[in-house]
Amino acid sequence: MSQTALQSEPPLKGVTVVEAVSAACPLALRLAIGLAGRIAADLGARVVMLESRDGCPMRDLAPKTRNGDSAVFTFLAAGKRSATDHGAVAARLLAGADAVLADTERSDVPEAPPLRVLLSMFAVGATTTVIPWPQSEFTVMALGGLLDMVGEPNHPPMRLGGHQLAYAAGLAAYAGLVAGLLRRPSREVARVALLDVAVWLNWKSPIGVARMGTLASRLGRDSEWPVLRCADGHVALVYQPADWAALCRLCADARLDDPRFADPGARRLHATALADVLEAALGHLTRQQLQDRAMALRLPLGPVWTIDDLRSDPQMLARAFLTQAHGIPRLPVLWNGMAFPTGAPPARAMEDGA
């Protein structure tokens, strides 16, 4: 396979990015800034995270690695440098940076960097009375409708695992960073609001209300794409109307000839009954068997692989997706077939003497 390390100069070589967060910065924004900086570091930027004298709180955040380090810090700080967020060193780093990634509460971010990427929980100019009130990634997911879309209808709304919203804001912050770099030598400010990112991700729901009068909400097992049991775990039964014939071939079950399942509209009305039939028809197959047969039939089914499964997954191995040193993902892009190398997370304040 072609996934060797990049030989040519990385695209952000020569760019210095400083991560500067306020003491009160919400965890969600720390995570977002951390991810944006991680992407920039992999792409060749010199990324310096300013840490308080007590160390970045993410150094202690669960889950932990086998060594007892924070897995979050190991992932997000890979390839970065660290400096103490105090005094002349921090001021010099900020003044000399091409860009700063910061939360809007960070009051001492100087005008000096030509590009500032500023993150907040709510959009600047929003007028809601809840703005001064505390929010978490979870409660912003609630306000953005993301929780309403996941889980079973009569059960509590559900978040997806990990930090999907915070990291999505991190992707947006990196996009804002590169957009700002393209504006050089003009000065620019890129702004990312966590709630706006949530609504942007969940656009179909408010757009459906505004333009079609339809209100989507979580359907769980009653959805068109249910998660079903199989012989050794679960499979997400993802398919399109055009895949129905192939799905019937996979199942080889006469119960699917039932008029209740004759067309997409009928299947939608009888989704729970259909899920029961499909589960009975496919339940004897393993995830690997389902994946092999889905590939042969060009069906978009999704066997539910665990993180442990993925560590030895043939596709992940073939594309060298996990780094050897820490087992964390490399940047998910190959540049002319080559992967960007991922560095190690920094010891504390390695640049204080710089």
Partner 1 sequence: MKRPLEGCRVLDLGIITAGAATAALLADLGADVIKVESPSYRDPFRVWTPRAGLVMADETSPFFQVTNRGKRGISLDLKHPSGRDAFLRLAARSDMVVENFRRGVLERLGIGFAALTAANSRMILASISSQGEDGPMAQYVSFGSTLEAVGGLAAVSGDAGGPPVISGKELNLPDQLIAIFAASMVATAWLARQNGGQAVHLDLSQRELTSFMLGEQFAAAEVTRSGNAHAAFAMQDCFKVRDGWLAVSVLPHQMAALGEVTAGATLADWGAGRPTAACVEVLAVTGIAAAPVLDGAGVLAARGAMWSTALVDDPCHGLLKGFPFQLDQALLRVLSDAPAIGADTRQVLAEVAGCTEAEIDALLASGAAEGT
Contact flags string 5-44 toward partner 1, x per CB under 8 A: ------xx--------------x-----------x---x-
CB of 82 to partner 1, least distance (A): 18
> Residue 146 or residue 281: which is nearer to partner 1 going by CB?
146
Determine the distance from the C-alpha atom of residue 285 to the mean position of all C-alpha atoms in its chain, rounded to a whole number: 31
CB of 91 to partner 1, least distance (A): 24
Question: Rounded distance, CA 130 to CA 79, Å?
Answer: 37
Give yes or no for residue 295 binding partner 1 (CB under 8 A).
yes
Question: Rounded distance, CA 151 to CA 135, Å?
Answer: 22
Give yes or no for residue 180 binding partner 1 (CB under 8 A).
yes
Q: Where do we find the tokens 């993902």? A: 329
Determine the distance from the C-alpha atom of residue 330 to the mean position of all C-alpha atoms in its chain, rounded to a whole number: 14
Question: Rounded distance, CA 70 to CA 301, Å?
Answer: 34
Number of residues engaging partner 1 in binding (CB under 8 A)? 154
Q: Two tokens at 329?
A: 């993902």
Determine the distance from the C-alpha atom of residue 116 to the mean position of all C-alpha atoms in its chain, rounded to a whole number: 22
> Residue 50 or residue 331: which is nearer to partner 1 going by CB?
331
Give yes or no for residue 316 binding partner 1 (CB under 8 A).
yes
Instruction: Write the CB contacts of 127 (distance below 8 Å, at least 6 apart in sequence).
Output: none
Contact flags string 233-272 toward partner 1, x per CB under 8 A: -xxx-x-xx---------------------xxxxxxx---
Question: Rounded distance, CA 86 to CA 77, Å?
Answer: 19
Contact flags string 96-115 toward partner 1, x per CB under 8 A: --------------------
- Range 37-76, binding partner 1 (CB under 8 A): 39, 43, 61-66, 70-72, 74-76
Question: Rounded distance, CA 9 to CA 5, Å?
Answer: 11
CB of 255 to partner 1, least distance (A): 19
Rg (CA), the chain: 24
Of the residues 25, 47, 89, 193, which one makes contact with partner 1 according to CB under 8 A: 193
CB of 105 to partner 1, least distance (A): 16
Cβ proximity of 84 and 90 under 8 Å: yes
- Range 114-143, binding partner 1 (CB under 8 A): 122-123, 125-128, 130, 133-143
Cβ proximity of 58 and 141 under 8 Å: no
Question: Rounded distance, CA 260 to CA 14, Å?
Answer: 62
- Range 143-172, binding partner 1 (CB under 8 A): 143-151, 156-164, 167-169, 171-172
CB of 56 to partner 1, least distance (A): 14
